[in-house]
Amino acid sequence: MKPMFGKKARKFGIKPKSNDKRHPTTWEHLRRVFFTGLIVIIPVFIALWAVSFIVRGTEFLFGGLVDGAFTLIDETWDRDDAAVTVVRYLISFVLALVVIFLIGWLSTFFAVKKIISLLEKLVSQVPIVKFFYNTPKEVLQTFTMSRKDSFKRVVLFEYPRRGVWVIGFATSEVAKKPDGTVLVTIFLPTTPNPTSGFLLFVPSEDVYDTNIPVEQGARIIISGGILSPEEFHAQRFSGLGSEPDMPKLGPLTIEDREVEDIPPSGFLR
């Protein structure tokens, strides 16, 4: 059985949505267009700001070294020349990449790992500094984690009580001895910050596969449900070793979002 949210609502006593949709007013249409423009342009500005910040930061760190190298080559070089400025930024950026790779390579050695661990322990003792150090580190670790070693699938289960449904990310399966019950390890992230959450061990018979891609599941959580699909397929958990036989869920944007009825307790049973 492959139930679908948003369908057959009348069978479960839910009043279906009316097909007669009210046409938006001119003000509502303008407001929607305005916020759509914001959604498009804000990420662009953030990306440009990030690139500018990185380039300027690398120039700040290595610009003096590059200037010294230029002076050794030619004492009469013009620091204000546009071409020279571009070359300075490029060389500083390349030097930053080299240093990052060098630090990454050195951190693979046991002795260097111990030194880094000791420094992190010292930093964690400073109240304000540890926040600005740990938060970016946790975010980077979350987004650079390999898909193979992290989230396998978006699953659906009842939590914290029967009748309340949540989505989480299945990461692995373990067997509970001596009865051999299969438990699914599920990471249940918080909204809107998915870098924190809860680790739950849920019996496999209480877990349902969904056709929601992992990337879209993350968008649903970060957006606080604004980017939730109108409907999705769910079926009994089939194990992480096999792909569930369900139609793929297409990409969703904020333009496609509409309010949907919530299924009652036992809808999937």
**Residue 202 placed within a domain:** yes
What's the pTM? 0.47
Among residues 146, 220, 212, 153, the alpha carbon closest in space to that of 190 is found at 220
**For 217-269, how does the pLDDT look when each residue is reduced to its tens digit (9 = 90+)?**
988 998 888 888 888 888 999 888 888 877 776 554 444 444 333 333 333 33
Query: Are 84 and 135 in a shared domain?
Result: yes
Among 115, 143, 171, where does a domain finish? 143
Widest CA span in the chain: 84
Alpha-carbon dihedral 201, 202, 204, 207, rounded to 10 degrees: -130
Query: Are the CB atoms for 152 and 170 separated by under 8 Å?
Result: yes
Among 143, 169, 184, where does a domain finish? 143
Contacts 24+ apart (CB under 8 A), 108-111: none
Structure tokens at 151: 């989230």
220 compared with 55, residue with greater pLDDT: 220
Among 97, 113, 143, where does a domain finish? 143
Instruction: Give residue 209's domain range.
Output: 148-256
Query: Are 103 and 134 in a shared domain?
Result: yes
Helix (H, G, I), strand (E, B) or coil at 264: coil
